[in-house]
Amino acid sequence: MNLVEALSADVPLVCVVGAGGKKTTLYALANRLERAVVTATVRIPIFDDQVAAVEVTPDPVSALREADDWPLGLVPERERDDRYLGYGRETVTAIRATPGHGPVLTKADGARTRLLKAPDEREPQIPATADTVIPVASARVVGKPLTDDHVHRPERVAALTDLAPGDTISPEAVGTVLASRYGGRKRAPSTATVVPLINMVDDDELAATGREIADAVHARADVSRVVLARMQEPAVVDVID
């Protein structure tokens, strides 16, 4: 199964959430899908070198109708030298509804480069029209302590698991976060396909860890599959049905 098939990404609107590879996933998909659009509902680092063109515009629908270069980035404003702002969810829904392009790939929350996260009360910013939601976590977080060094909002991860701040993170804890309606599946529309992605599966030991995480997800959530991958390559390592 190739990456696009594994992640159910050939659909009108894909939202990527979580930690440990969201942006890498967006860009890998953008370069494997026809006439893809990359955008965000939250802040996103400058990504001009990851797509054919970026349009900075308050009117993305008009820009999209005139687009010639693909994959295309759409953002409303450059906030500072290293990042763009994101659109509101309704605007991303309007982008989705505009004819003439392929999948709209959307960064829908932030994680400050950590390996695992649980969302706060304002997150994630997923449009109600999302067709696929991909919650991401890194296999490399297993064995690390539950601290700010490795986890975005560790106190929220603690609240979803049986861990206390500073405890060693287990595969079961990562799977619990990915599967939770207050974690990786938070605000995913009931009509959306949810495909958890375990990233940074770089060797056999991490693959075994990833399979343990996948088993924990399947024990807690009705998802069709969990994908293990190395998104830097990118490559699918395994698909756990």
CA gap 38, 154 in Å, rounded: 29
Residue 81: predicted pLDDT: 87
Domain covering 3-240 in this structure, CATH number: 3.40.50
Residue 80: predicted pLDDT: 85
* Torsion-angle region of 80 (φ positive above 0: left; ψ -120 to 50: alpha; else: beta): beta
Bridge partners of 17, per DSSP, are 135
Residue 196: predicted pLDDT: 98
Strand ranges in the chain using DSSP code E only, listed in sequence order: 13-18, 37-40, 44-45, 53-56, 72-75, 78-80, 83-84, 104-107, 116-117, 132-138, 151-152, 193-194, 197-199, 226-230, 235-240
The series of mean pLDDT values per 10 residues for the chain, 241 residues long, is: 97 98 98 98 98 98 96 96 96 97 97 96 97 98 98 97 96 98 98 98 98 98 98 97 96
Strand ranges in 19-162 using DSSP code E only, listed in sequence order: 37-40, 44-45, 53-56, 72-75, 78-80, 83-84, 104-107, 116-117, 132-138, 151-152
Residue 43: predicted pLDDT: 97
Terminal CA-to-CA distance of the chain, rounded, Å? 12
Output the six-digit token pair for 130.
């999302």
pTM: 0.97
